[in-house]
Structure 1
Amino acid sequence: MNETRRALLGELSSSAASGPALAERLDVSRAAVWKQVEALRDEGFVVESTEAGYVVTAVPEFGAGTVEYGLDAPYTVEYHDTIGSTNDRGRELAAAGASDVVVLADEQTGSRGRLRRAWSAPSGGVWLSIVFRPDCPPAHAPIYTLAAAVATTRAAREAGVDASIKWPNDVVVSDDTAERGGRKLAGILTEMEGEANRVSWLLVGIGVNANVDASALPAGATSIREEAGDVERRVFVQRLLETFDELRGDPDSVLDAWREHADTLGRRVRVETTSETIEGVAVDVEFPGALVVRTDEEDRVIHTGDCEHLRPV
């Protein structure tokens, strides 16, 4: 979407506006305004001409303009009906110097999760990657994974799903009868490039099983559709991005927000690291995202690992 059309959407999201007024505000000709209004109509927006000026009365179900319309966060959205991986595209944009860009797709055909596990990403889901450039050292990058988990969980709860966070990067619907302690609703994969003392760019990939049938998902997964019925994906993505933007601007607030929504804390867990297996009770999370597990001998601080919720005895 070009900058004039994006600015036009921003103006129309607040109130009706006449062609001459829009031309003056956007510093373009009235013909340019008309051209961009027609382009919005071609995208599926219903833009009516009234006595008060142009008014948007309906928006498409999903897409870049759909999400940007009324979005209260400084992101540019690039939308794809189908893409191999939003993270792959995000890395391309990051390498080209982009920042505050969201790559959004209806379907992914080559997606992957943590530890390069296969990730089902059929049409109807929310598959997105956020590219940004935080002013922080690489060691602090995990705090943004936690922020993304909080943002996703809050959006899911607003959609009616009793979602919570499983350390380190899953959003789940708690279920002690499930194999690993919960039905997976969403996953997060963070990638970055940086130097010793600063992050060059950070990429947070978020995959949410939104309006997806259970038959299209792997065993142990669930979707918003299965838990609460279909969600308006435009609103879901907007809430997610707005919350993430708020949290990334205040990293010190992330841990308390994460604790508020955590399913892992207070549970007996088994964590597989690259060198050992640690079993105990998860008692806290420390900056920038380490899990504190109380074993029979001591408290262990685990920075990375594969966590399994153990069933209550």
Structure 2
Amino acid sequence: MNETRRAVLDALADGPVAGPVLAETLGISRTAVWKHVEALRDAGFDVDSEPDGYALAGVPDYGAEAVEFGLDAPFDVEYHDALPSTNDRARELAADGASDVVVLADRQTGGRGRRGREWSSPSGGVWMSLVLRPELPPARVPLVTLAAAVAVTDAAREAGVDAAIKWPNDCVVPREGTERGGDKLAGVLTEMEGEASRVSWVVVGVGVNVDVNPGELVGDATSVRAEGGDADRRAFVQRALERFDALRADPDAVLDAWRERAATLGERVRVETADGDVVGDAVDVTEHGALVVDTGDARRVVHAGDCQHLRPVDGA
């Protein structure tokens, strides 16, 4: 949304305000005011024409303008009804020099998770990718992923869902006795381009089952709606982006925030890695996003793998 239209929208929210007054205040013509009002109506905003002027009567449920309105974080939003992958589009924008842009889609037709796994992305979910240019060395970029997981978890909790983070990048609703540590609510997938000493760009893909019909959920997935939470996608996106923006401004706080929300820490786990299984107690996560597992003989630092939560051993 351009700055003039944003200013018109903010004025209407405080309305009613007469067109001539708005034109004079913003330094634009009355015709321009009318065009901006019509554009807002086309975008789904309910703008009333009252005797005293224009007034905002309603905000659309979803979309770029809807998310940007009232968003307390410096992101521009690009919205699509459908995309094969928001990460693919975000990489295109990153290659063109974009920064602090959120690619948002109502549904994805080719969504994917870790290791290229398919991720079901029906209408009703939050499918978004953030184009970022963090001032971090490449070794600290994993903090961006951890921050995104915290932000999504906090947004889910604000929506009324008892969410937690399962290593490495899933947001789950904890269930006792399940290998995944709970039913999956969201996932985070980060991609980066850069050199040894600098980061060119980072794309953080986030997929969240928010207002997804429980009948459309696959496997052990759940949704905010299925958990009885507030399934307002617009509010969810805004809270997640605002929390993420606060965390990226304070990277030293990210690790402790992740630990406080972790479902995996303190659990007995099995991590399937390329070099074999690592079994033990998950005791910590490093700033590089690696899981520290106490096997009983040593502490192993696991950088990647599939993590299963195990039942405690007898006597433990």
TM-score, normalised on structure 1? 0.94
Structure 1 partner of 2:46: 46
Which AA in structure 1 matches 2:288? P
What are the ranges of 5 or more consecutive residues in structure 2 without an aligned counterpart? Answer: none
Matched pairs, number? 313
In structure 2, give the amino acid aligned to 1:219. Answer: G
Alpha-carbon deviations, 1:174-208, whole Å to 9, x = none?
11233422100000000111111111111100000
- CA change 1:21–1:287 in 2 (3 A) is farther
Cα distance 1:21–1:146, how it changes in 2: closer, same or farther (>3 A)?
farther
Q: Alignment partner of 1:88: what SS?
A: helix
Partner of 2:232: 232
SS in structure 2 opposite 1:228?
Answer: coil
Task: Tell me the CA shift for residue 19 of structure 1.
Answer: 3.1
For 2:102, give the aligned amino acid.
V
CA, structure 1 residues 219+248, in 2 after alignment: closer, same or farther (shift >3 Å)? same
- Tell me how far apart the structure 2 counterparts of residues 7 and 103 of structure 1 sit (CA, whole Å): 23
| Distance in 2 separating the partners of 1:146 and 1:243 | 12
- Greater Cα shift, 227-236 or 242-251: 227-236
Per the alignment, residue 212 of structure 2 pairs with 212
TM-aligned CA distance change 1:15 to 1:286, over 3 Å: farther
Instruction: Please state how far the C-alpha of 1:27 moved relative to its aligned partner.
Output: 3.6
Query: Residue 163 of structure 1 contacts residue 171 of structure 1 at CA under 8 Å; is this kept in 2?
Result: yes
Give the alignment of 1:163-182 within 5 angstroms: 163-182=163-182
C-alpha change, 1:31 and 1:46, in structure 2 (3 Å) is same
Q: Percent identity?
A: 65
Name the structure 2 match of 1:266. 266
Q: d(CA) in 2 for partners of 1:304 and 1:243?
A: 26
2:154 matched residue in structure 1: 154
1:84-128 CA-partner distances (Å, limit 9, x unpaired): 110011001111111110011111100000111110000111100
Gaps of 5+ in 1: none
Matching residue's letter, 1:305:
G
Offset at residue 134 of structure 1 (A): 0.4
Cα deviation digits, residues 230-253 of structure 1 (max 9, x gap): 511111110000000100111011
Partners of 1:10 and 1:145 lie apart in 2 by: 33
Q: Contact between 1:122 and 1:212, CA under 8 Å: does it hold in 2? A: yes
Give the Cα–Cα distance (whole angstroms) in 2 for the partners of residues 188 and 85 of structure 1.
13
Matches within 5 A, 1:89-104: 89-104=89-104
Root-mean-square deviation (CA), in Å?
1.8
- 1:71 matched residue in structure 2: 71
* CA drift at 1:304: 2.3
Query: C-alpha distance in 2, partners of 1:181/1:24?
Result: 58
Aligned to 2:305: 305
How far did 1:133 drift? 0.5
